[in-house]
Amino acid sequence: MSKKFTRRSLLRGTLGGTAVCMGLPLLDVFLNSNASAYASGARLPVRFGTYFWGLGLTDTPAGGTRWVPATTGPGYEITPELKAIAAVKDKVSVFSGFRAIPEGRANLVHWSGHASILSGVAPTASGSFDEASFDTRVADALGGATRFKSVDIDASMSRTPVSYSTRSGKTFASPEVNPLGLYTRLFGAGFQDPNSDNWQPDPSIMLRQSVLSAVKEQRQALMSTVGQADRIKLDQFFSSVRDMENQLAVQLERPEKREACNPPVEPGELPRGASVDVVNENTRLMARLLAMGMACDQTRAFNFVHTSGASETYMAGNSKIYHQITHDEPTDAKLGYQPETSRLAEQVMEGFGAFLEELDAVPEGDGTLLDNTLVMAFSDTGYAKIHSIDNIPMFLAGGAGGRHRAGQHIHQPGEPVTRVSLTAMQLVDTPVGEFGRGTMKTARPVSEVMA
């Protein structure tokens, strides 16, 4: 009889056989020598996600900015609008100077920038992309083994749910918009605690599988007499059905133990409101749930929206929204920049800081969840006052399981934003050699940040 010595059986022993589920700091004895895997040999998964916020960061029109660090390479200094990431700066690389190139197409305000970053080409019309967003490719590569291929979140409290993740260029993901919705998706019905010792396959899952095969049966018949646009829609529908089948298949297998998994309690309702303090609080709570969802291996890919392109967030009590302020506020003659805009930018970045802190707060291996994650963060514009799509602020945060040489400032003015996107894809081992179209097509990742 082989005696399995796991952290949890040890714990159970000490507590007299009761099934206990609680997160504990890891002891080295459970890890292999380089700590990228548990002693059982299972490697810790690498996760990938995007983080978006609206309205960029602030330039000082006379020259310089409120956010680009003066020095490049490792050990960059914290500028005023980067204050919020100071605590985790060694895990964050800052990319400045990169630009979206519309190539004769109009710069569609609050759209062309992030559409270029995600789809690799400046779009022809606002509201749609000309190519799929690249996060879907990463999710396809990473997501097969988890219940959800990808989880989409929108913390912005906007009028309509915001997502920039799309497979068809027209249908965008439908995000979770509050902590309760996200909790229910990740930890509600269908959640199987990976650390539970009395796991049993749910027989009703096989019944559901039979339902889905009936749904798919008529695929050929439907596809035979259909135009191009409708074919794309039906294709996506059936690919969503396949994702559901995959989800069911995953649920029929005993989940691998996840030491860092400690399912949270159901959150309450948040007050509605789109002021930046509320959005940041929503961001923190949803980041915490997402982090635990990844620790419990429910998903390995996500897209997180803090605020939308032409962000409607505002300082509580102020009659003007952020978007309006970026355009209307004059540059302060003495300071050389828009003071209120810059203050709002700092606040918005606090959302990003909070997001990263939550990922960094979950211990995993000999580090944290953030060390096994790569987050690509970016905005729709550089300097929002003039809808600039030059110098769009971009960040890569997290260790990507040791692949990311984090903590650097990369300054490459005029280079296409797609290079950072390609870098992100390659850091998490997506099988992609080049990305983008036209002038933004690139096969050159930013190698300085790749280990």
Partner 1 sequence: MFSRTILTLVCLTVGGSLSGPAARAADIAKGAEIYQSACKGCHEVSIGPPLAGVVGRPVASEPGFGSYSDALKERRSLVWTKDELDHFLAAPREWIPGTLMMQTVPDAEERAALIAYLETLGSGSDVEEGTAALSIDQPVIVAVRRLNESQYRNSIRDIFGADIEIKARFEPERREEGLQAVGNSDLSMTSAGFEQYFGLARSIAAQVLDPARDNALAACSQAGSMDEQRECTEAFVGHYGERLFRRPLTSEERAVRVHTALESAARDGDVRQGLQLALTSLLAAPEFLFRIEMAEPDPGNPGALRLDGYSRAARLSFLFWNSAPDEELLAAAATGKLYQADGLQAQVARLADSPHYEEGVRAFFSDLLQLDGFDNLVKDPAIYPKFSQVVADSSREQMLKTLVDLLLVQQRDYRDIFTSNETYINRALAAVYRVPYPADTAWAPYTFTPDSERAGLLSQVGFLSLFAHPGTSSPTRRGIKLHEIFMCEPTPDPPADVDFSKVKDSKAGTVRGRLLDHMENTGCVACHRRSDPPGLALEHFDGLGQLRKYENGQLIDVSATLNGVAFVGAGGLGQLLRTDERIPACLVRNVYAYSAGQLPAPEQAEFIRRSTREFAGDGYRLPGLMQRMAVAPAFFNVLVPEGLAATGANARDAGATGR
Site for partner 1 in 214-253 (CB under 8 A): 214-215, 217-218, 220-241, 243-244, 247
Using alpha carbons, list the distances in angstroms from residue 451 to 37, 85, 402, 408, 415. 18, 22, 7, 13, 21
User: How far is it, in rounded angstroms, from Cα 19 to Cα 4?
Assistant: 16
Using alpha carbons, list the distances in angstroms from residue 38 to 29, 134, 364. 9, 30, 9
The DSSP symbol for 265 reads P
What is the smallest separation between the CB atom of 250 and partner 1, expressed in angstroms?
Answer: 13
User: How far is it, in rounded angstroms, from Cα 56 to Cα 53?
Assistant: 7
Q: Indicate whether 170 belongs to the interface with partner 1 (CB under 8 A).
A: yes
Among 33, 34, 319, 447, indicate the residue that binds partner 1 (CB under 8 A). 319
Q: Which stretch binds partner 1 (CB under 8 A): 343-351, 365-373, 382-390, 426-434?
A: 382-390
What is the smallest separation between the CB atom of 441 and partner 1, expressed in angstroms?
Answer: 22
The DSSP symbol for 53 reads E
User: In which residue are the tokens 């996500």 written?
Assistant: 302
Nearer to partner 1, 172 or 435 (CB): 172
Q: Tell me the number of residues near partner 1 by CB under 8 A.
A: 86
Among 10, 21, 86, 207, indicate the residue that binds partner 1 (CB under 8 A). 207
Nearer to partner 1, 76 or 183 (CB): 183
Nearer to partner 1, 386 or 450 (CB): 386
State how beta strands 367-368 and 363-364 pair: antiparallel
What is the smallest separation between the CB atom of 202 and partner 1, expressed in angstroms?
Answer: 13
- Token digits of residue 353: 């800081």
DSSP helix/strand/coil, 48: strand
Identify residues 150-169 at the interface with partner 1 (CB under 8 A): 150-152, 157-161, 163, 167-168
Q: Indicate whether 334 belongs to the interface with partner 1 (CB under 8 A).
A: no
Query: How far, in whole angstroms, is CA 131 from its chain's centroid?
Result: 19
Nearer to partner 1, 228 or 447 (CB): 228
DSSP helix/strand/coil, 153: strand
Stated as kind and residue range, the H or E segment containing 368 is strand 367-368
- DSSP string for residues in 381-421: -SBGGGT--SS--EEEES-GGGTB--SEEEE-TT-BTHHHH
Nearer to partner 1, 149 or 288 (CB): 149
- Token digits of residue 24: 């504990």
CB atoms < 10 A from the CB of 177, how many? 22
Nearer to partner 1, 149 or 404 (CB): 149
Nearer to partner 1, 275 or 442 (CB): 275
Nearer to partner 1, 89 or 147 (CB): 147
What is the smallest separation between the CB atom of 390 and partner 1, expressed in angstroms?
Answer: 11
Identify residues 268-307 at the interface with partner 1 (CB under 8 A): 272-275
- Token digits of residue 407: 């903590």
Q: Which stretch binds partner 1 (CB under 8 A): 35-43, 208-216, 288-296, 397-405?
A: 208-216
What is the smallest separation between the CB atom of 221 and partner 1, expressed in angstroms?
Answer: 5
Question: Which residues in 69-154 belong to E strands, given as ranges?
Answer: 73-74, 92-96, 151-154
Among 137, 208, 343, 403, indicate the residue that binds partner 1 (CB under 8 A). 208
What is the smallest separation between the CB atom of 393 and partner 1, expressed in angstroms?
Answer: 18
Contact characters 392-431, partner 1, x per CB under 8 A:
----------------------------------------
Using alpha carbons, list the distances in angstroms from residue 212 to 235, 246, 299. 15, 11, 22
- DSSP string for residues in 110-151: TTHHHHHHHHSS--SSTT--SS--HHHHHHHHHGGGSSBS-E
Among 99, 284, 385, 411, indicate the residue that binds partner 1 (CB under 8 A). 385
Among 17, 330, 431, 433, indicate the residue that binds partner 1 (CB under 8 A). 330
State how beta strands 47-53 and 373-379 pair: parallel
What is the smallest separation between the CB atom of 118 and partner 1, expressed in angstroms?
Answer: 15
Identify residues 25-84 at the interface with partner 1 (CB under 8 A): none
DSSP helix/strand/coil, 441: coil
User: How far is it, in rounded angstroms, from Cα 340 to Cα 206?
Assistant: 57
Among 114, 284, 387, 409, indicate the residue that binds partner 1 (CB under 8 A). 387
Q: Indicate whether 18 belongs to the interface with partner 1 (CB under 8 A).
A: no
Pair 256, 245: CB distance under 8 Å? no
- DSSP string for residues in 270-316: PPP--BHHHHHHHHHHHHHHHHHHHHTTSBSEEEEESS-TT---B-T
Q: Which stretch binds partner 1 (CB under 8 A): 8-16, 75-83, 171-179, 368-376?
A: 171-179
What is the smallest separation between the CB atom of 7 and partner 1, expressed in angstroms?
Answer: 33
Nearer to partner 1, 66 or 404 (CB): 66
Identify residues 346-365 at the interface with partner 1 (CB under 8 A): none
